[in-house]
Structure 1
Amino acid sequence: MKGQVPIFRAIALDVAQRIINSEFGEGSKISGRTLLAGHYNVSPETIRKAISLLKDEGVVDVSQGKEVTILSVEKSYDFIERYKSAESVYSLRQEIEILLREKRDLDVKLETVLTEIINYSDRLRNLTPYNPVEIAVTADAHITGQTISQLRLWQHTGATVVAIRRGTEIIISPGPNAVIKAYDKIVVVGDSDIYQRTSEYFNRTMV
């Protein structure tokens, strides 16, 4: 499963933590792969991979007789911290990928709904092109806290509100009582100059 820690790496991390906890002191020797396999209830091959990883990191050394010697507490710290950093970066990348997928899905949904709205609205059907635009509402915009009805947007700008994007939520065809909040993104349609007129009207600061 993507994101799941391989067993051998989990064992290597556990051994490194036990070294830090002084269960295994520097210069001491720990049991061979067969005994370790019994302790972690895994195959000797899995233990071999774990010990090999620790050896590559300078945490332990392995003699030709397969005896494992603890080399460095400091390297154990380094190994664990580096792994935590890698996991943090991986988690952030995963979150970004999820957000991007959600945004793409929302964009597709919004485009579909816009097309349906245009097809069913006599007034909007006559706009060629209908130019859907998305305008962000700033924190100090004078329209913050007003309802769609109170905006009188058509009278002021010639634009029609077709949706509100609020975080990951999309409010389709908001009714006249829908309240505008700071940082909303208002989707409107109108003629070719609609973005400039509506943006200027939306974001006049409150007096």
Structure 2
Amino acid sequence: MEKAGYKSIALDIAQRIVSGEFPVGCKISGRTILSSHYHVSPETIRKALSLLKDENIVDVSQGKEVLVTSDVNANEYITKNGYLKTAYSLKQDLELLLREKKELDRKFESLLAGIVEASDRLKNLKPYHPVEIKIGENSPVAGMTIGALQFWQNTGATIIALRRGTNVFISPGPHVVLGSGDVLVVVGDDSVYLRTERFINGAEE
């Protein structure tokens, strides 16, 4: 089982070299850190690095320093082994994405709570209802600023966030220009969705 483990780790490190995470000329983590990263013994890491050294991908000095020497050889190594991504990389990518999503969700909830608490208008809404509304391609509000639209006066809704692609803008100001495809997160009373949808996208619902 350990034999398969060190081969998989060697392939994973080679992939990280090819991707540029470990560029040629850089010194990568020593055995102790790598063994902690992959949750295996230092001996397993030593075997993985030995494989990479035999392939002229890294150089391991007497002082246990690991130097990346060739991304070309690393690419040849993963290609001839029919390797795309090991379970290590996939699991790490998933864990990272989940951590980032959890942190973003936490920040969003915290900001939302702060905005609601700070706004006199929102304090009087019992309850308030956050809803998401997408600006359509033919929306009459596309290309206009939030201020020019007199958004709250026309809808009774307060914009607490704007999603544009992968970016999120919390409490966008009056000078923000709205565009088709933007998603507004608004709060208001029970009928806020219908009023805001009509205002943004015309008669279409």
TM-score by length of 1: 0.53
Residue 196 of structure 1 is matched in structure 2 by 194
Displacement of 1:192 after TM fit?
Answer: 0.8
Whether contact under 8 Å (2:151, 2:157) holds in the other structure is: yes
Residue 125 of structure 1 is matched in structure 2 by 123
The whole-number CA distance in structure 1 between the counterparts of 2:117 and 2:78 is 62
Residue 66 of structure 1 is matched in structure 2 by none
The whole-number CA distance in structure 2 between the counterparts of 1:153 and 1:191 is 15
Displacement of 1:100 after TM fit?
Answer: 0.9
The whole-number CA distance in structure 1 between the counterparts of 2:144 and 2:46 is 56
The whole-number CA distance in structure 2 between the counterparts of 1:75 and 1:153 is 56
Displacement of 1:88 after TM fit?
Answer: 4.9
Residue 10 of structure 1 is matched in structure 2 by 49
Displacement of 1:179 after TM fit?
Answer: 1.7
Identity of aligned residues (%): 31
Kindly report which structure 2 residues correspond to 1:1-207, keeping only aligned pairs within 5 A, or say none.
Answer: 1=33, 3=37, 6-15=45-54, 17=55, 41=62, 77-78=80-81, 81-82=82-83, 84-86=85-87, 88-90=89-91, 92-118=93-119, 121=120, 123-166=121-164, 167-172=166-171, 174-204=172-202
Displacement of 1:94 after TM fit?
Answer: 4.4
Whether contact under 8 Å (1:144, 1:180) holds in the other structure is: yes
179 and 113 in structure 1: CA distance in 2 versus 1, 3 angstrom threshold:
farther
Displacement of 1:89 after TM fit?
Answer: 2.4
Whether contact under 8 Å (1:102, 1:168) holds in the other structure is: no
Whether contact under 8 Å (1:106, 1:170) holds in the other structure is: no
Whether contact under 8 Å (1:141, 1:204) holds in the other structure is: yes
106 and 168 in structure 1: CA distance in 2 versus 1, 3 angstrom threshold:
farther
5+ residue gaps in structure 1? 22-38, 44-73
The whole-number CA distance in structure 2 between the counterparts of 1:191 and 1:182 is 25
Partner of 1:89, secondary structure, is helix
The whole-number CA distance in structure 1 between the counterparts of 2:114 and 2:182 is 18
42 and 154 in structure 1: CA distance in 2 versus 1, 3 angstrom threshold:
closer
The whole-number CA distance in structure 1 between the counterparts of 2:78 and 2:90 is 21
| Superposition RMSD in Å | 3.8
